[in-house]
Structure 1
Amino acid sequence: MTYSGAGAGGLQAPLWRAIAVYRIAALVYVAILVVRNVSEYDWPVLAWPVLAVTAGWTVFTTYAYADPARRRAPLLVADLLVTMAVMASSAWIVGSGPLNTGTPTLAVAWHVAPVICWAVAWGRRGGVIAALAMGATDLLVRAKFDQAAFTGTVLLLLAAFAVGSLVRLAEVSQVRLQRAIELEAATRERERLARDIHDSVLQVLALVKRRGAELDGEAGELARLAGEQEAALRALVTTPTAATVDDHADIDLMTLLGPYASTTVSIAAPADAVRLPGHAARELAAAVAAALDNVTRHCPAGTKVWILVEDEPGEVLVSVRDEGPGIAPDRLAEAAAQGRLGVAQSIRGRVAELGGTVTITAAPGQGTEVELAVPHQPIS
C-alpha cells in the first residue's frame, strides 16, 4: 500500500523535510569520520570520490523528495541501491582489518535515510524490507556476525517499524479529521435549513393538514399528503447527520437505514447494533432505498411499508414488505426484456456483488416482499 499520494501530503510533508535534514546532518558526520579515520583505510585515496558521491546524492535526493510526484518506486529503489553501494565499497576502501577493529563504514548513520524513506512511502512492510536489505549489506561488509554486528540491523528494523506505524496513524487521523470536518459542515447546513424551513414550509404544510383534515374528496387527500410531507421534511431536518461511511471499518447498519423511517415506513431491528463493513452496509442500504423507490413508483400514495432487519449468525437479513397491489408473476422478466433493469441492477446487482442473495415474493393483490441476505464478511 502506498502512503505517499496526494491525500497524505499534508501530514507527511514534515516527515520528508525531517528526512532531508537528517540526511544532511548524517553527511556531515560521515565527512568528519572520513577525515578522522582516512589514514587507517586500506585505500584512502578512494574514500574521497565515494564521499563526493555521497554528498552529491544527498543534494539530489533532498530536491527530488521535495516533490511528492517523484516519491515513487524508481527514486526509492535507486536511493536504496546507491546507499547500499556506498556501504559495500567500505569492504575494499576501509578494509576488513579496520572494520573488525571498530572503524565505521563509509555510510555510517547516512544509510538510515533510505530505510526511513521506504517506511514513509510504503508503510511498515516497505520499511522492514529496506531495513533487512540494508542490514544484510552491513553484515556482509563487516564479515563479522557477533552481537554488536546484529545490533545495527535490529535498530534499523525498529526504526522502520516505528516510522511505518507513525505514517499509518497519520493516515487514519487525516481521514477521521476530514470526516469530522465534513460532518460538522453538514450539521451546520442542516441547522440553517431547519431554521428557514420551520419558519416557512413546515408551517404551511401543517396549516394545510390541519384545515383539510375534516374535508372529504380531493381536499382531504391533499391534506393527508401534506401531513406526510410535513413529517418527512421534519425528520429530514431534525435527524442527526450520519457520519461518513468508512469502507474499511465496521458500522451499525441501522445508522444508514434509520433515516428511511416515516409515517408510511416502519423499521423493526434488533436491540443491538447490526454491524457490517462500511462498503457492505452502504450497498445494502442503497438496495433497500431502491426497493422503497419501487414502492413509491408503483404503489398508491400512502402505501404502508415494513422493514425488518435480522442479525443472523452468518448473515444479515433485511426484508422490505409493502401492502401494495403486488407484482404479476411475469412482471420482472418482462421488465428485464424491455430493458427496464431497476430491480436487477439496483437491488440484485448490489447484493450479488457482496456475495448475497435477493428473494422477491409477490402476488397480485397481496403486496410484495423483498428479502436481502448479505454475509457478515462480504466479498471484497
Structure 2
Amino acid sequence: RSSTPAKVELLLDTVTTEEVRRPLVALCELMRDVFLPAVGCVPGAKRIEGDVMDVDDVEGPRLITQTMRQQNAVSAITVSGNVGAANGMVDGRQPTPKELEDAAHLLEERNIHSLYRVASRSCQLLELLSRLREAQSIHDLPEVEWGLLHGLTHCQLVTTREGQNRIETVLTNLVSGGPNVARDPTEMSHGVVDLGGRPETAQSDRLSLLLSRSCYLYYSAGSRLTYLGFRTARSAALDPPSSARRVELCNRASNYFVRAAAHWYNPGLVAGRVLHAEPFRKRGSGRKELFGRAAEPGWYDDAAMRAIEHGSPLARAAQVLMELGDVGGTVDVCLRCAANFGGVPPSGKGTLDYEFEGIGESDLPDEMLPWERGLY
C-alpha cells in the first residue's frame, strides 16, 4: 500500500483542509469564551435530567447518536415554565414580561448551543479526514474503507445518523481491530485462533490516542475502550497461561470490554453491521426456523462467525476472552451489551464515571465538555 488505491481520489489535500478548518476552530473558541453559559451546558437540560435539548425531543435523523435517542426515550419531558412562556401561555394565563424575557433568553441560548454543536462537529470531521488521509499511507494500519463514506456530503456526515454510523464503522475497522478469524468454529475451543491478529504497533496506538483527543465526537470513549481491550488482551496472550501477569491482564481486558459494551447501542454494529438472517421462529415442536426452514444444528456457530467476519466488537471481544480462558469476563461483556437493548439491568455500571474509569486523564481532551461525554 505505497499509494492510495486508484478507486479513491482524495481531492481535499491536507493544506486545504487545514485552511478550511482554521476559521471554524476560531469560531468555536470564540463561542466558548463569549457564550460559555450557552455552550458549557445544555440550555434547559435540568428539566429532563439529560443532555438532549428541546430541539432534540423528536424522532428521526436529528438524534445522531444512540445515546441521544436513549436519553430522549427515557426522559419525561414536562413542557412548562419558560418553555410554556415561549408558546404564549403559562399555566393557562398570559406570561409576565419577566417570563417572556426568560423564554427569549432560553431560546437564544438554545440556538447558540445548536450552532456550536454543528461548528464543533464540522471542525472535528475535517480533522478526522486529515487523520484518515495520514493513516492511508501507513503500512502498519489496515486499509481505510473510504467506500463507506461514498455518497455522503460533509453536511450529512456532520448532522445525520447515517453519517455518524458510517464514520464509526470506518474507525472501528481501522483502529479497534479484533483477532484473525478461524474458518472452523471448532477451532475456537482448541486454541487454533490467532489471538494476536494484527499486532499492535506504535502507529496504531498513536492514531487511537490522537483520534480520542482531537476527534472525540466521532471516535468516542467506547471506541477507545474497545481498542484498549484488544491491546491488553493481546498482551495477556504473550504470557504463560498460569502466570499472575496474564491473569491480571485478562481481568483488565475484560474490564475494558465491559465498559466499552456500555457504548454498543447500534444493533448493526453488534451484529457485525450486516444482519444476514431473518429472526428465528419457533415451531410447535420447539424447533427453530431459518428462512422458513428448520435451522440446521450449529446455526449459532455460523451466526457467531458471520458476526466476527463483519466486524462485531461484541463477537470479537468474546472470542478473545474465551481464548484467554476468561469465561466470566465473556459473560459480563455480553450481559452489559444486552442491557443496552433491554435484556438485563445494567446494575449501575452504565454511568459515565464507570464508563470513563480506566482511561487516563491524558487520554481525555481538555476541551471536552460534560454534555459531549453524555451524548457521544
Larger Rg: 1
The structure with the greater share of residues assigned to helix is 1
Greater length-normalized contact order (CA 8 Å, ≥ 6 residues apart): 2
More strand by share: 1
